[in-house]
Structure 1
Amino acid sequence: MTDTVSIADLMIQSGVAFGTSGARGLVVAMTDRVCFAYSCAFLQHLSSIGQFAPGRHVAIAGDLRPSTPRIMAACAAAIRHMGGEVDNCGFVPSPAVAAHGFANDIPSLMVTGSHIPDDRNGIKFNRTDGEVLKPDEQGIRAQSVDLPDLFDDQGMLKDAQPASPLIDAATPYIARYVDAFGAQALSGMKLGVYEHSAVGRDILVALVEALGGEAVSLGRSEKFIPVDTEAVRPEDQQLAREWAAELELDAILSTDGDSDRPLLADESGAWMRGDVLGILCARALGIRAVATPVSCNSAVELSGLFDAVRRTRIGSPFVIEAMDALIDEGQASVCGYEANGGFLLATPVTIEGRELGALPTRDAVLPILATLVDARRQGVALSTLLAQLPARYTFSERLQNYPTTQSQALIAHLEEGSEADILARLTGMFGSLAGEADGVDRTDGLRIHFKGGDIIHLRPSGNAPELRCYTESDTAERAAQINGGALALVGQQSATG
């Protein structure tokens, strides 16, 4: 007995839908039945484009949040139901399972909610040759799936599923960077590793030591901590300053939950912004063409370091599309990075005669290592490396528990009328913070430019009920001040209707 379900309808019914990084939703909504159906739809779509057939392997991995093992089991059951073989990579970073899939020309999926709290989770899908892009998401959404009679009334699997043997995806991932940078690349550096609940915490320690550095393990937690690299928690800011002062560290390394977004603090314990880290990594690797979302620091253009900079909507699928376009235009070395620091390497690069292959999915390890190795090569502290870039600073925060519909209504209101009306309305709302508005960019959300050089960018989150606010100014303090003020004004307007 089977039950035919439309994925488009299931997304509406369950509330588990595609955002900018795959399917995400509340854990209570991500029943085994929902996760099974989405995994089947993913493989059906890949079958339609010649990337999956019965007998083919599919790699699977997950992060360390409590619901992940159950969801992995449901996804593995779906792979077997579709006639596939499961490559169980266990609990490894998203880029590690993706790299395993790309290297073996097989699909892969990662069960992760990334940086969001553990009452939510998600599934990130990869094709055999890269991340799923927007047309793939549409293809998955268009599927109808015949579900077998495996689930109880609550949508959970009635019987325990067999465990698949573990596949080692961590060792090749570590070797990728040791082979590229060399065994003494971090020699003489004392590096703290803020482990918290990141799935790649042990890999970071292993990499530091394999590259000749001294690793100091810090802040390991068996309880999931939602570390957001775009909105670092005040307690994590304080911890980093204390660790740097007490332990005399050259830097502190960390990642988000599924270890595809980096966090790197300098010798004072100040966390570096992900979009600045992206610039430093691209420079260190000798990249000539960059794709990056519209929300990222404008120092990438002002630095004059790159032959081409392509701005995109927010989300790795859009960055990947822009990277592909740059390659088609004849650019020989291409990368992408996001405001969260995730770095995508579209073309191979050579590091002191050693080749590092492309990995066109968001990665946390490469920007951390490339920047540290560059600082060591120049014989300077990380803060000095940062000071070599134009003085533009970004800051981001969000209003949590702010429904997407409310965010969309706010932006629609701000965009009513003629361009003159819009600028006048924006000046009226934000003028006390940033002066007169003189331009807007609608690439993704509403990015407002002010005559004094400040920027306020409002955007509904693609994967959580949040309103994101990105700001940019000539000092870090002012960028943070404007951000807090803008969110306060938005909150006041929402409260008064």
Structure 2
Amino acid sequence: MQVFGSSGTRGRVTEELTPEFVLRVAAAAGTVWGADRIALGRDTRLTGPMLANAAASGLASVGADVDRLGVVPTPALQAYAAAEGIPAVMVTASHNPAPYNGIKLVGADGVELSIERLEAIESVLLDGSQTHAAWDRTGTDRRIEGARRRYREELLAAVDREAIAGADLTVALDPGHGAGALTSPDFFRELGCSVRTVNAHPDGHFPGRDPEPVAKNLGDLGDLVRATDADVGIAHDGDADRAIFFDEHGEYIEGDATLAALADAALGPGDTTVSAVNVSQRLVDVAQSSGADLELTPIGSTQIMTRIRELQSAGETVPVAGEGNGGVIFPAYRINRDGAYTAARFLSLLVDRPASEVVEPYDGYANVRENVHYADEAERATLVEAAGEWARNADGEVSTIDGYRVDFGDAWVLARPSGTEPVVRVYAEAREASRARELADRLVAVLEAAAGE
């Protein structure tokens, strides 16, 4: 796909992503859907109102009425779409920095579109075959109130509220100024938790931290856990479809360890779990010990969700899936990432033991992630070619599911171009931190040398 990457389409606003482009994407989606009503939401980014207006115009131009939900988490928009039986457009750049924005497309079942459906919309977009309505058949829009409240109510009905409330947990929460600031504080209070917050006011400047919930951005959350003697710290990305955790000591928990703990609690013999090619050995070990199969896909929620649907259609049971970036999927709830739901599932593991003990069995691995920026498509191709040459000459097992991954037995390293930013990402994992750092640095040096040439 040229337009839709690993999770929608994104870019720097007024540079790669313009209102005109958003209008065309929305009109193409509306043409393929052919729906009378389409829902529209956005996160807290400063460019959200402008781009939501453009999307609404594109949808109305093909004859669709638009239900405008305003600022909502992506999973709240998905819940609304499923309840109403209508498709939806989400204006968000998820974890990307403030200058970025983007579009996610959601089907009438409340699930992000499959690769096949995205390709159909992309075809209409690129060949300009949008079907515009006659002047007296264009759509209208209306403001929808209460979508965030409806979402919280659905969450409360889907989790073990009584058990969590009985544990009398204190939650330190960092929504990162994103859409989760308008839902997660109330949700965790309604679960019976005491809630302490940081970066909890919606602000598209993201003054407290960047939207991506990675360790380097979450120092304030660790401090808050320690200062308030909280049982757990929870952080979201910009559209709150991901959750990252800190333990009761204010120590960052690797997302791969969280995924492994949640998977261990959900998987049984004969089940299948799905993750991406940058999967941690932690999940590999859990799948093996549970008697479950592990399926790998290219990186990105779209790829994972598409594979889950295929497996379910074939009669397979997929209790849990996702990536180690905090994007966990529980298909029985919905085939989407949902940061608040994931957090509630993790809280249910804290009823009998502290967070540090919950994830302790999945410690013992060190992870490194680096980005190598490129200027244009020619340089991108050069970096990918250099990664491939290095991988083929390395003394390890090579996988090309997405980029180039090399397994060395005691460690692995992966290089693949991002689907949302102009970078080639380098991932490495090993039992020893020095080994993971060595592999990552070695491959980054190869890529940087290729870019310099």
| TM-score bucket (shorter structure) | 0.7 to 0.9
SS across alignment from 2:294:
strand
Residue in structure 2 matching 1:120, options 89, 96, 100? 100
Q: Partners of 1:395 and 1:372 in 2: how far apart?
A: 27
Paired letter, 1:126: V
Q: Partners of 1:407 and 1:380 in 2: how far apart?
A: 47
Q: Partners of 2:262 and 2:334 in 1: how far apart?
A: 14
Q: What is the deviation of 1:483? A: 6.2
Q: What is the deviation of 1:438? A: 1.7
Q: Map Cα deviations across residues 399-443 of structure 1 (whole Å, 9 max, x no partner).
A: 345545434322323434xxxx9543x3xxxxxxxxxx3211111
Pair 1:386-2:373 in alignment: no
Partner of 1:432: none
Q: What is the deviation of 1:183? A: 4.2
Residue in structure 2 matching 1:200, options 172, 180, 187? 180
Q: What is the deviation of 1:192? A: 0.6
Percent sequence identity over matched residues?
A: 22
Q: What is the deviation of 1:492? A: 4.1
Q: What is the deviation of 1:468? A: 0.8
Contact in 2 for aligned 1:404/1:466 (Cα 8 Å): no
Partner of 2:290: 305
Pair 1:473-2:430 in alignment: yes
Partner of 1:412: 385
Q: Partners of 1:167 and 1:447 in 2: how far apart?
A: 47
Partner of 1:332: 317
Contact in 2 for aligned 1:63/1:198 (Cα 8 Å): yes
Contact in 1 for aligned 2:178/2:239 (Cα 8 Å): yes
SS across alignment from 1:388:
helix
Q: What is the deviation of 1:491? A: 5.2
Distance change (3 Å), C-alpha of 1:207 and 1:488: same
Q: Map Cα deviations across residues 97-137 of structure 1 (whole Å, 9 max, x no partner).
A: 01211222110110001111222210101111321222222
Paired letter, 2:10: R
How well do the aligned residues superpose, as a CA RMSD in angstroms? 2.6
Q: Map Cα deviations across residues 345-388 of structure 1 (whole Å, 9 max, x no partner).
A: 22x3xxxxxxxxx3112221222211121121xx2211111112
Q: Map Cα deviations across residues 225-283 of structure 1 (whole Å, 9 max, x no partner).
A: 43223xx252x343233222222111111110011121211112222222332222233
Pair 1:227-2:211 in alignment: yes
Partner of 1:190: 170
Distance change (3 Å), C-alpha of 1:219 and 1:443: same
Q: Partners of 1:248 and 1:124 in 2: how far apart?
A: 38
Q: Partners of 2:431 and 2:96 in 1: how far apart?
A: 30
Q: Partners of 1:256 and 1:124 in 2: how far apart?
A: 15
TM-score, scaled to structure 1: 0.80
Residue in structure 1 matching 2:406, options 448, 452, 462? 448
Q: What is the deviation of 1:70? A: 0.8
Q: Partners of 2:430 and 2:156 in 1: how far apart?
A: 37
Contact in 2 for aligned 1:37/1:145 (Cα 8 Å): no
- Matches for 1:313-392 after TM superposition, within 5 Å: 313-346=298-331, 348=332, 358-376=333-351, 379-389=352-362, 391-392=364-365
SS across alignment from 1:226:
coil
Q: Partners of 2:169 and 2:147 in 1: how far apart?
A: 27
SS across alignment from 1:200:
helix
Q: What is the deviation of 1:331? A: 2.6
Q: What is the deviation of 1:146? A: 5.7
Contact in 1 for aligned 2:386/2:447 (Cα 8 Å): no
Mark the structure with the bigger radius of gyration: 1
Q: Partners of 2:374 and 2:392 in 1: how far apart?
A: 28
Q: Map Cα deviations across residues 160-191 of structure 1 (whole Å, 9 max, x no partner).
A: x9862223221222122222322451441111
Contact in 2 for aligned 1:282/1:335 (Cα 8 Å): yes
Q: Partners of 1:244 and 1:212 in 2: how far apart?
A: 18
Q: Partners of 2:339 and 2:445 in 1: how far apart?
A: 34
Q: Map Cα deviations across residues 310-350 of structure 1 (whole Å, 9 max, x no partner).
A: 1111112221222123223433343321232212222x3xx
Partner of 2:136: none
Contact in 2 for aligned 1:194/1:219 (Cα 8 Å): yes
Contact in 2 for aligned 1:284/1:370 (Cα 8 Å): no
**Number of equivalent positions:** 433
Paired letter, 2:281: S
Distance change (3 Å), C-alpha of 1:110 and 1:18: same
Partner of 1:41: 28
Residue in structure 2 matching 1:181, options 155, 160, 169? 160
Residue in structure 1 matching 2:415, options 438, 452, 458? 458
Q: Map Cα deviations across residues 12-55 of structure 1 (whole Å, 9 max, x no partner).
A: xxxxx3211112222104333221111010111123xxxx2xxx
- Matches for 1:254-269 after TM superposition, within 5 Å: 254-269=235-250
Q: What is the deviation of 1:495? A: 5.2
Give 5+ residue unaligned stretches, structure 1.
Answer: 1-7, 12-16, 150-160, 349-357, 427-436
Contact in 2 for aligned 1:456/1:471 (Cα 8 Å): yes
Q: Partners of 1:294 and 1:127 in 2: how far apart?
A: 26
Pair 1:292-2:298 in alignment: no
Distance change (3 Å), C-alpha of 1:195 and 1:362: closer
Contact in 1 for aligned 2:383/2:447 (Cα 8 Å): no
Contact in 2 for aligned 1:278/1:367 (Cα 8 Å): no
Q: Map Cα deviations across residues 32-86 of structure 1 (whole Å, 9 max, x no partner).
A: 3221111010111123xxxx2xxx2211110111000111111112222222221
Residue in structure 1 matching 2:445, options 455, 470, 489? 489
Contact in 2 for aligned 1:252/1:266 (Cα 8 Å): yes
Paired letter, 1:128: A
Contact in 1 for aligned 2:222/2:252 (Cα 8 Å): no
Q: Partners of 1:61 and 1:291 in 2: how far apart?
A: 28
Q: Partners of 1:487 and 1:214 in 2: how far apart?
A: 45
Contact in 2 for aligned 1:343/1:366 (Cα 8 Å): no
Contact in 2 for aligned 1:404/1:460 (Cα 8 Å): no
SS across alignment from 1:219:
coil
Contact in 1 for aligned 2:95/2:211 (Cα 8 Å): yes
Q: Partners of 1:384 and 1:487 in 2: how far apart?
A: 34
SS across alignment from 1:380:
coil
Most deviating of 322-331 and 438-447:
322-331
